Amino acid sequence: MSVVSAAGSASFRNELLRALPADELQALRPHLLPVTLVTSQVLHEAETPIDEVFFLESGLAFLTADTRDHGLVEVGTTGRDGFVGLPALLSPEPVSVHRAFVQIPGRAHRLRAATLREMTETLPTLRDRCLRYVQVMLMQNSQIAACNARHELPGRLARWLLMSRDRIEGDDLPMTQEFLSTMLGVRRAGISVVANSLQGLGLIRQSRGRVTILDRAGLEEKACTCYRMVERNRARIMGLSPGAADAPAGLDKAQGSR
């Protein structure tokens, strides 16, 4: 696996890292390697050992399950709200069940899986934040499984676009209809009909390989109830107040408080 090194960031935008107290940041920081993530980059291949985890600063990564007979489908989404490589926290010999890849390029901090396990033994806030994130992903994935089984495509697509948008904090999503159909596990023709309808309502704009959200409030009205349920429970589990995830905590400020 090839990951391109990037210049160190001036601040942590990752929600887990920026929640750490100064002493834990000081202990963890020498082990964090800033990297650049590029589109289609595979972070973990299915059924292979997880040697490194990635705390995203920007961009978006997806976990996909291979059904073998019916192709891939999305089973997890990670932005700067968490990290890629959850099994590393739970097992001394972690193996990726699913494929993790980058769809929207960005930046991350790479950390050896063994170091994460060691650090969570001695850094209580890091352990707490990471375990909370595991709970968030379990909640999110179970709710989305129910959503995919019970809700119609228009509400599901609106929910999916909003969740992706929230995790990159931007309205411009570089995604094709083919990609959306794979992630939602439906035929491209169905995505085309629903996306054209949302565009006709002035909620989104489609261009070649890109979806832009024009009316977030209007799109939320079209989303199924799972969107609000997932986001409300995520905020509760992570202890986030409204708007708490919008302003990055400066790394320099954390350094100054040591």
Question: What architecture is the 4-124 domain classified under in CATH?
Answer: Sandwich (2.60)
Q: Where are the domains of the chain?
A: 4-124, 152-223
Residue 224 has pLDDT above 70, yes or no: yes
- Cβ–Cβ < 8 Å for 55, 66: no
pLDDT of residue 242: 54
Band (pLDDT 50/70/90 cuts) for residue 248 is very low
- Cα distance between the two ends of the chain: 36
- Lowest-pLDDT choice from 11-20, 28-37, 118-127: 11-20
In this prediction the pTM is 0.87
- Cβ–Cβ < 8 Å for 87, 51: no
> For 230-234, which contacts have Cβ atoms below 8 Å and span 24 or more sequence positions?
230/139, 230/140, 230/143, 230/144, 230/163, 231/163, 231/166, 233/136, 233/139, 233/143, 234/81, 234/136, 234/139, 234/140
pLDDT of residue 11: 77
Residue 3 has pLDDT above 80, yes or no: no
CATH number of 152-223: 1.10.10.10
Q: What is the mean pLDDT of the chain?
A: 89
Same fold, 4-124 and 152-223: no
Band (pLDDT 50/70/90 cuts) for residue 2 is very low
- Cβ–Cβ < 8 Å for 77, 84: no
Identity at 89, one-letter amino acid code? L
Task: Quote the DSSP letter at residue 96.
Answer: E
Residues sharing a CB contact under 8 Å with residue 233, sequence separation 6 or more, in sequence order: 136, 139, 143
Look up tokens 């909003």; give the residue: 162
Dihedral pair phi/psi, residue 242, rounded to 5° = -55, 125
% residues pLDDT > 90 (the chain): 81
- Lowest-pLDDT choice from 26-40, 60-74, 118-132: 60-74
- Lowest-pLDDT choice from 85-89, 136-140, 246-250: 246-250
Task: Quote the DSSP letter at residue 31.
Answer: G
User: Which of 137, 47, 150 lies closest to 100 in space, CA to CA?
Assistant: 47
